[in-house]
A and B are shown apart, each in its own frame.
Chain A
Amino acid sequence: MTILQAKQAQKSGANHSVADSHTDDGFSDLHPAYSTLQAMAESNRCLYCYDAPCVTACPTSIDIPSFIRKISTANPDGAAKTILSANIMGGTCARACPTEVLCEEACVRNVAEDTAVEIGSLQRFAVDHLMARDLPHPFKRAPETGKQIAIIGAGPAGLSCAHRAAMLGHDVTVFEAKAKPGGLNEYGLAAYKMTDDFAQREVEFLLGIGGIRIEYGKALGRDINLQALKDSYDAVFVGVGLGSTNNLGLKGEEFPGVDDAIKFIEQLRQTEPKSDMPVGNNVIVIGGGNTAIDAAVQAKRLGAGEVTLVYRRGPENMSATEFEQDLAKTNGVVVRYWAKPVAIKANGKLMGMSFEKTELDASGKLVGTGETFDVPADQILKAIGQKIKPDDLAGMEITGGKIIVDDTYQTTAPGVFAGGDCIKSGEDLTVQSVEDGKQAAIAIDAFLKTTSA
């Protein structure tokens, strides 16, 4: 742990230890923003590597050494432009990226010193600095092409695509099912990662490029359909994410108190003050990803007495990063590994859940041991994965629960492109979705030049 990290841990510990304090509701910044002094000190730890490993590790290939150097020379707005030119949602990624398995894992400072440069915090410092100033949008649009692009979904992929397409001179209409833009940035990330309405502020900033119109309350399959969009627009981008969740397949799953973790987080994100959000006294969270951790930690911070996170395999198998797992433990979440849910227990009201212990058999297959235990609960949150809603995606081939795209992000439907969580491009991360959207916009631009030639 660097001194800076230690200081922050101290700070955040002080902030979060008393969830019901008058000054803090437990949902202030997980990583407090850097002061100018912290940014100066940490930026000077960067060695300004050539062909840097951190850049390779970033899905959006942000020129990290260049932006950090600009911070160190007192040019934070220039740093922000370097970041945003590669990743228009650099502000969200600075807050939500699992940097410990991306850029910071690749940092050469790990090799000899075991402590990476805190790239995420520096990125946030730069982007926040620029966004806090009332400056014109930092990017210019190319001359208008007269081409119309429809984008389905105002999440990270859709908005990233919209911004890049607008920069390339196209006119963009975004169709969004919900009432607000931002997708999972607005509805899915933990509240303590996205304080001060950042998702909305970022979208407002992004729209500053011009040439982008968003229509809210327009869901694919309900209010709009792919064929009609194909007919009316020169190209279509599908960035619908994963609209459906996996079920446990247990009796009683529809019982009140049994919810999807993603819906719990969505409701929490839209509740102000956070203390108005209802939470159980004994909460069980099922799953091993970052959504499970986000739900468990936030349930605890809302005041749940006991939060038990149950995962069917061991800690090394969790898709949640080590940092996230530690976060759950330091927030008082009880984590139980090697157990799977076998029954929901209810008696007029939700009582709890039965689990069977699991292990790997000789062939490495996960099996139940026959030994069971019960955990009382008045709320159960399922975080066992999301999946695509195939009904609305007629005309595009889907395999393994993901839309098939070629190297240029084009689906099997000509002129229809896709990106983000609904395609198989890598981890289900904001930063990957932003990259998908950006690259798809560049591909669409090339496609439009070919078709109009």
Chain B
Amino acid sequence: MADLSCKIAGIDSLNPFWLASAPPTDKKYNVVRAFEAGWGGVVWKTLGIDPPVINVSSRYGAHHDQNRRLLGINNIELISDRPLAVNLQEIRECRKEYPDHVIIGSMMAPIEERVWKDLAQQIAESGVHGIELNLGCPHGMCERGMGSAIGQVPEMVEQVTRWVKDAVDIPVFTKLTPNITNILWSAEAAYKGGADAVSLINTVNSIISVDIDNMIPEPVVDGKGTHGGYCGSAVKPIALNMIAEIARTPETKNLEISGIGGITTWKDAVEFMALGSNAVQVCTAAMIYGFRVVDDLIDGMSQWMDDKGYTSVEQFTRAAVPQVADWNELNMNYDTKAVINTDNCIECGRCHIACEDTSHQAITMTDKPEGGRVFEVVDEECVGCNLCYHICPVPDCITMEPVKTDKPPMTWPEHPLNPMRAAAE
């Protein structure tokens, strides 16, 4: 079994799987269960200054598929609603009882230097390995000038990061909100403020559904609903892009990254790490299935590493980053065609109708004399878009095969039909 231990922001972890700051890490009871299940660390649910917040009843909305599998959750829960002293005492106990497991203290406060520094110091004194600055919550706390209200202003991100860095001598993670126009601005601000790492993404601002019998956005609180933070596997693509951008941009690439955003399977985790994450945080998958999902995360990643010959996670961390390019760097002379393996085809016709109605009319459907039908790709019409390959219900029935070409690679800036190129010459 491959060695899954890793290091992020100077902190050693048994494995790269931490629970994100959220309801699953609200108190000692949960955290103990998480450590016993195999999680390498937790980011404690966000702590604020007393008096604790009051939460509403009805807190989660759901984005289901038609088979009632949860694709995403949104929540309108605020930060920890327990007294600070209780949380800090439980953190101390957990640190003592589980010395090999990582505990990061998440915090948020109004934009006042003294408040941030005092709170950070109190948390640091509880023995946490590091502090995570929650600058992301897109609901509730932002209306009080906290969470994403800070995270959306790069100057404030830098300021808050610097305050806390100045106040404590343990690693500081600045947690970024995706509810911005360009993640690089806040990432660079965190970097300038001295962050040891950034954590991203926090939840995506959202209204997840509407109760159409009563015409109220969900989750419903006594006849009204509000926007909340969206998470779960549905937000994974948003997170992957933001992480990759930070990892490949010169101004931010030295930031270590704690990747978050819908990680549900070991393969998701590998992808997050390949695109720049030094470790990952998980929340929704645990909320849906319980802490035991970590077993598959650990086992699947180590099986895959054994298969690939990796002996440490550092060997594949950021391995995909060099291949992330701008569109303008793509080779216009590359061409692929769909190939249908008729032996595997179950004749559902989905590829045909998808291509016929919405793409390039490149898959024909012909009745066979002996009954049934045969589906064939018209190479001249196929642009290699991948749509049929993705919608085919049978794995490996449709493959995308590169076309052999003598043409040298050519990017759009080099392309003769590019009017900008003509203008430049």
Give residues in A with beta carbon < 8 Å to B: 40-41, 43-44, 47-53, 72-73, 108-109, 111-112
Q: Is B360 an interface position by the 8 A CB rule?
A: no
Q: Is B383 an interface position by the 8 A CB rule?
A: no
Q: Tell which of B66, B348, B353 touches A44, judged by Cβ atoms closer than 8 Å.
A: B66
Interface string of B242-265 (1 = CB under 8 A from A): 000000000000000000000000
Return chain B residues, CB-CB under 8 Å to A72.
66-67
Measured CA separation A121–B84 after assembly (Å): 56
Q: Tell me what chain B mostly uses at the interface: helix, strand, loop, or mixed.
A: loop
Q: Is the CB of A111 within 8 A of B66?
A: no
Q: Is the CB of B349 within 8 A of A51?
A: yes
- Closest beta carbon of chain B to A4's beta carbon, Å: 14
Return chain B residues, CB-CB under 8 Å to A49.
347-350
- Closest beta carbon of chain A to B240's beta carbon, Å: 27
Q: Is the CB of B348 within 8 A of A41?
A: no
* Subset of 24 A-B contacts with CB under 8 Å: A40-B66, A40-B68, A41-B67, A43-B66, A47-B393, A48-B350, A49-B347, A49-B348, A49-B350, A50-B348, A50-B349, A50-B350, A50-B353, A50-B365, A51-B349, A51-B373, A53-B347, A108-B346, A108-B347, A108-B348, A111-B347, A112-B344, A112-B346, A112-B394
Give residues in B with beta carbon < 8 Å to A: 66-68, 344, 346-350, 352-353, 365, 372-373, 393-394
- Closest beta carbon of chain A to B139's beta carbon, Å: 28
Q: Is the CB of B346 within 8 A of A73?
A: no
Known: A40-B68, A47-B350, A47-B393. 9 other contacts (CB 8 A): A40-B66, A44-B67, A47-B348, A50-B349, A50-B353, A51-B373, A53-B347, A108-B347, A111-B346
Return chain B residues, CB-CB under 8 Å to A108.
346-348
Measured CA separation A43–B65 after assembly (Å): 12
- Closest beta carbon of chain A to B212's beta carbon, Å: 11
Measured CA separation A82–B393 after assembly (Å): 25
Measured CA separation A73–B64 after assembly (Å): 11
A-B interface, 6 closest residue pairs, ranked by CB to CB distance from nearest? A50-B349, A50-B353, A111-B346, A44-B67, A49-B348, A108-B346
- Closest beta carbon of chain A to B227's beta carbon, Å: 25
- Closest beta carbon of chain A to B289's beta carbon, Å: 18
Measured CB to CB, the nearest residue on chain A to B392 is A47
Measured CB to CB, the nearest residue on chain A to B357 is A50
Return chain A residues, CB-CB under 8 Å to B365.
50-51
Measured CA separation A73–B65 after assembly (Å): 10
Measured CA separation A344–B334 after assembly (Å): 82
Return chain B residues, CB-CB under 8 Å to A48.
350
Measured CA separation A48–B350 after assembly (Å): 8
Return chain A residues, CB-CB under 8 Å to B373.
51
Measured CB to CB, the nearest residue on chain A to B352 is A50
Return chain B residues, CB-CB under 8 Å to A47.
346, 348, 350, 393
Known contacts: A40-B66, A112-B394. The answer to whether A52 contacts B346 by CB under 8 A is: no
Measured CA separation A47–B350 after assembly (Å): 8
Measured CB to CB, the nearest residue on chain A to B353 is A50
Measured CB to CB, the nearest residue on chain A to B365 is A51
